[in-house]
Amino acid sequence: MGVIVVVGAQFGDEAKGKITDYLAADARIVVRTGGGPNAGHSIHLAEGSVVLHQVPVGVLRSGVLGVCGPGMVLDPRGLDEEIRTLQERRLFKGSLAISERAHAILPIHIAEDAWEEERRVATRPGAAIGTTMRGIGPAYADRYGRWGVRFGDLIRPARLADRLELLYATKPHLATTLQDRERVRTELGEVAARLAPFVQPTEPLLWSAVERGDTIILEGAQSALLDVDFGTYPYVTSHHPTSAGALVGSGLPPAEVTEVVGVTKAYATRVGAGPFPTQVEGDMGAYLQREGGERGATTGRVRQVGWLDLVLLRYAARLNGFTSFALTKVDVLGGLDDVPVAVQYVTPTGETLTDYPPADADELAHVTPVYEKLPAWPKFTANLERRIREEGARALPTELKQFIEFVGRETRVPVEWVSYGPRREQTVWLGKPHGSAPAGSVSAWAA
């Protein structure tokens, strides 16, 4: 299968973790390429549910290596606790490698995250960006400012002391005492000693795996519309959760990529601040939140909900070079009267936009979506799920097949997987795509 990149195609929370875990059944390595403890991937196993914040989903499968890639920023204390919790629950079935190039999130980064958000609000009410307060932004800022502490530094006590001294010198606006610094250094030293066996050069591992022909999955965190450059700036994350960013965050070259899977819900959600053109409120919004269990896996915050937005989906498809989609949470829309889908925007000046949203967040917030209503499909009953397990994609409701074909035709990216529930087995493969179906046609699986 080669190198498969899994990318969130919306504002996050599309069930990337579930799709990555599903694909990991045929993989040897799963690499988390960016972000840190601001992302939570919920996986529902026979042994119980687990939320992974920093550890790649590959460790949940025997014989699979999970890699925390060089593009990540990791909270050492949280990572240590997450590993020990998985081991205690006997869910740590694979193995783990942590890149020596990954950067550490330190307590001062978390304090700075809160300080920065307070400054935004104090300067202009309403300017909050909805940060998770996990220190992600400040850690990435120090990474690019060349003040950061890498995991290769973390496991070298003398180097750690030197890097911490330099880092604290850049933050006089955050009150710290010598006692505070010594306590942090001591705690980090203790955690680093436990993490040291996992820390190593990870790029050679991946290069050797490519040469052997092993399947490698690059696991995305956050999503394309939160990319620091191509998302709804400034309401974005601090790294590049795109297919290009996955390469930088892993150390693999573009020529090795064989597939780029975009993960999208059958509707849309967003956590935190920022424009959301298709947002649904009122009774329908509450229904989608309730039926979809729409709360952030890491923060617990209720997600805003809305209808599928094809303008943004087309944009994400072009930006990432998706070769196929994994369509998730189709069960949530089962039983509705119809399913609205935004097919274009109209701007306040009357301009029509179909595949490139405004780069300015305020302008995006003021577009008017134009909807096409598609027939809704029946609810996913136990009997329907049994038929899907036995018959595969042929058993999907006709209306859902039409919805899938519509998405593929409108985006020019075929849907290859459909997820209709949180569990591993609630995913169906539609067959290997060979391009989207032309207008008016029905694919073989939908017959």
Active site residues: 13, 41
Report residue 199: phi and psi, to 5°: -80, 130
> For residue 148, which amino acid is it?
G
d(CA 265, CA 345): 20
> For residue 327, which amino acid is it?
L
Tokens 């967003």 -> residue: 270
Query: 152: closest CA among 120, 92, 192, 180?
Result: 192
Whether residue 70 contacts residue 327, with contact meaning beta carbons closer than 8 Å, is answered with: no
Query: 445: closest CA among 384, 389, 404, 411?
Result: 404
Q: Answer positive or negative: Cα dihedral of 146, 175, 137, 98.
A: positive
d(CA 391, CA 395): 6
Q: Which two tokens mark 309?
A: 């937005």
Cis peptide before 234 (omega within 30 of 0): yes
Neighbours of 166 (CB within 10 A): 13
335 Ramachandran zone, left/alpha/beta (phi>0; psi -120 to 50): left
Element (H, E) at 254: none
Q: Which two tokens mark 282?
A: 């009122």
**What are the residues whose beta carbons fall under 8 Å from the beta carbon of 249, sequence distance 6 or more?**
31, 33, 34, 69, 70, 71, 72, 218, 239, 240
Whether residue 226 contacts residue 320, with contact meaning beta carbons closer than 8 Å, is answered with: no
Burial 193-215, CB ≥16 within 10 A → b, else e: eebeebbeebbebbeebbeeebb
